[in-house]
Amino acid sequence: MADARMNRQVLLVSRPQSEASVDNFRLVETPLPPLEDGQVRVRNHFLSLDPYMRGRMNDTKSYAPPQPLDEVMIGGTAGEVIESRNPAFKAGDRVVGMFGWQEYGTSDGSGLRVVDTTHVPLSAYLGAAGMPGVTAWYGLNGIIEPKAGETVVVSAASGAVGSVVGQLAKAAGCRAVGIAGGEEKCRYVVETLGFDACVDYKAGRLYDDLKAAVPDGVDGYFENVGGEVLDAVFARMNAFGRIAVCGMISGYDGKPLPMKAPALILSQRLKVQGFIVSEHMDVWPRALKELGEGIASGKLKYRESIAQGIENAPQAFLGLLRGKNFGKQLVKLV
Amino acid sequence: MADARMNRQVLLVSRPQSEASVDNFRLVETPLPPLEDGQVRVRNHFLSLDPYMRGRMNDTKSYAPPQPLDEVMIGGTAGEVIESRNPAFKAGDRVVGMFGWQEYGTSDGSGLRVVDTTHVPLSAYLGAAGMPGVTAWYGLNGIIEPKAGETVVVSAASGAVGSVVGQLAKAAGCRAVGIAGGEEKCRYVVETLGFDACVDYKAGRLYDDLKAAVPDGVDGYFENVGGEVLDAVFARMNAFGRIAVCGMISGYDGKPLPMKAPALILSQRLKVQGFIVSEHMDVWPRALKELGEGIASGKLKYRESIAQGIENAPQAFLGLLRGKNFGKQLVKLV
């Protein structure tokens, strides 16, 4: 074998009983086999860390099969083709794929997409110009369907998805109100992202602060969190309000997460709808185009938290689950 | 005054602290004033009793203003025109209106509808051929949108709304499963109404019995009840299931009614939507036509619980709230 290069990978080796921990993961080194005909090899530059990964660690019935044990942890990646025996790719191509938590990816090209980094940075294709951005776009346009003058609230507002939701809502002529953890994040949401207001749920006055931030009630809510945040927003929903349920990160460790007052669904005639962005592939081209244009023009703003080195991926992921990230959480691999 | 006839009326005189009681109502006698030009007078034959009335007794924010104290209790009525000084009506016309809990109604004709009792009995216009029927029709066709081969579940299945939901679902090619209280109601739901199965929630094995009755899971759920019934059905919902929230009678007395596992909205990508049938007047003509044809042909079956005399309306209403009725609850006034 001419190619003796080693590939560092992170495997899921056990499932959390409640909270996930670094012990659920293991770093291994695997020699890279020579490329076969039709294959392409990518040096991953960035690994995307996303809340949905916590769900995959569990062995419970959900929309996706669980992540198998002792295999490379699932995840989106962005990198550069370093070797190709596939005519659709050439060395130097910037590509986005789902190679998971490892430094190199090898594939037959399926699921790999060449991206243009002239005006949009490579890392953004894992954030505002990628899956999280499309998630925001679909939940807002496909479920909430905001009308100018309405109030749209989003939780985890400084995150990869929430930050896009609020900016798109503003662009649609809505009052955009974020919910985020801590003064610094809230300041960023208002001053940099341009939301009309942001409620710091860590300040201990969630309901009162939210009530003050939505004087005309809430018409659309983009839910990333669940639990008491959902209960608080629910209580301020206007008649015919729409709630797009994208995530319930506060329940991912398995603790019960009841909804306090579901009767409001009736009395306010709400529509509450869950969605998974990968099931709406028809909107991706349009959404990606709009999001890419927004980023290229500088109108759509985003922020990244970047951990360095594959060996730090587990710790960075656990931080994401606890809200320690500020913006899109990435791991830089080169 | 030539007309010394007395009108017996039931007023709401106090609001329930928790459970409603007969003390919240008072029977009064009021002399009927002579008809004015443009007015029409109706002898009500039937008063409709419906779960929504419990909500109107409370002084809380809801989709409709509360029933004012010391006024005639709200309610749908069906009767006969006995005197008319309005060219749109003549004595003998059978009419449906919202005269409330009283023996006679006087109006300028607005909100009064002449009905044809040749093939559809007058009382049915307060049930399967009226508001409850249209409620079933809209929740099923407007929100659940059932496809042949799917499974549709409805709670309060022997009631005025639930009985129509299941029969329409069957006609649409679905497996129809009811939830009702007691063996007798369940037998009626299956043997007379033609549902595929019915779960007796009073038997104490709600979840297991439901699971057995829906071997392919639940695609559509028509909710009249809330609470543990909702939790049980929720846990059996299939991906992309639709829940039409029409009522949550188990919470009408004000006790907290949390939803156990709202995270299923996300993991199963559910749509949960509340509705009030009076906000969808556009579907009424089509729905009433279909329902009337079903009743006239004998295909659409229904059952009535009939209390006798306006003085017994409060007791009959309290019975309805406790599930003591069997089918559409009416009060016969003549």
pLDDT digit of tens for each residue in chain B (334 aa)?
444 689 999 999 999 998 999 999 999 999 999 999 999 999 999 999 999 999 899 987 777 788 999 999 999 999 999 999 999 999 999 999 999 999 999 999 999 999 999 999 999 999 999 999 999 999 999 999 999 999 999 999 999 999 999 999 999 999 999 999 999 999 999 999 999 999 999 999 999 999 999 999 999 999 999 999 999 999 999 999 999 999 988 877 777 889 999 999 999 999 999 999 999 999 999 999 999 999 999 999 999 999 999 999 999 999 999 989 999 999 999 9
CA-nearest residue to A247 within chain B is B266
pLDDT band at A180, cuts 50/70/90?
very high
Tokens for A312?
A: 């730090």
What are the pLDDT digits (tens) for B272-322?
Answer: 999 999 999 999 999 999 999 999 999 999 999 999 999 999 999 999 999
A265 to B247: CB separation less than 8 angstroms, yes or no: no
From chain B, the residues in CB contact with A271 under 8 A are 271-274
Phi and psi torsions of B233, nearest 5°: -65, -40
- Return the number of other C-beta atoms located less than 10 Å from residue B60's C-beta: 10
Chain B interface with A: residues with Cβ < 8 Å: 55, 61-63, 226, 230, 239, 245-248, 251, 256-263, 265-276, 279
Question: B269 and A248: CB-CB below 8 Å?
Answer: no
Task: Give the angle subtended at the CA of B267 by the CAs of B204 and A13, to the nearest 5°.
Answer: 105
B6-127+303-332 and B131-278 share one CATH topology?
no
Q: Are strands A237-245 and A271-274 parallel, antiparallel or unpaired?
A: parallel
Interchain pair A262, B267: CB under 8 A: no
Tell me how far the alpha carbon of residue A93 is from its chain's centroid.
Answer: 24
Q: Across the A/B interface, how many CB contacts are shorter than 8 Å?
A: 99
Among A105, B199, A306, smallest CA distance to A93 is for A105
Mutate to test the interface with A, among B272, B275, B276 (most CBs of A within 10 A): B272
Whether residue A79 contacts residue A42, with contact meaning beta carbons closer than 8 Å, is answered with yes
Q: How many CB atoms lie within 10 A of CB B297?
A: 9
Token pair 């703003």 is at which residue?
A: A301
CB B183 within 8 A of CB B158: no
Q: How far is CA A40 from the centre of its chain?
A: 27
Q: Which of B63, B248, B265 has the CB atom closest to A272's CB atom?
A: B265
Q: In the structure encoding, which two tokens stand for residue A83, read together? A: 């070797």
B208 close to B177: Cβ distance less than 8 angstroms: no
- pTM of the prediction? 0.93
Please report, rounded to a whole number, the percentage of residues in chain B having pLDDT higher than 70: 99
Burial class (CB in 10 A: 0-12, 13-18, 19+), B55: buried
Q: Please answer yes or no on whether A262 and B263 come within 8 Å at the CB atom.
A: no
As a residue count, chain A comes to: 334
Quote the mean pLDDT of chain A.
Answer: 95
From B257, B263, B279, residue closest to A226, measured CB to CB? B263
ipTM, two decimals, is: 0.91
Q: What is the CATH number of domain B131-278?
A: 3.40.50.720
The domain limits of chain A are 6-127+303-332, 131-278
**Contact between chains at B266 and A279 (C-beta distance less than 8 A):** no
Are residues B269 and A272, on separate chains, in Cβ contact within 8 Å? no
Tally of CA atoms within 13 A in the half-sphere of A48 that contains its CB: 30
**CA pair distance B152, B290, nearest whole angstrom:** 20
Write out the DSSP string of B191-224. HTT--SEEEEGGGS-HHHHHHHH-TT-EEEEEES
Nearest to B274 among A62, A256, A265 (CB): A265
Which residues does chain A have within 8 Å of residue B274's beta carbon, measured at their own beta carbons? 265-271
Q: How far is A279 from chain B (nearest CA, A)?
A: 10
Domain B6-127+303-332 has CATH 3.90.180.10: yes
- CB contact under 8 Å between A258 and B263, yes or no, is no
Interface contact flag, B271 A269, Cβ < 8 Å:
no
The span from the CA of B213 to the CA of A326, in Å, is 48
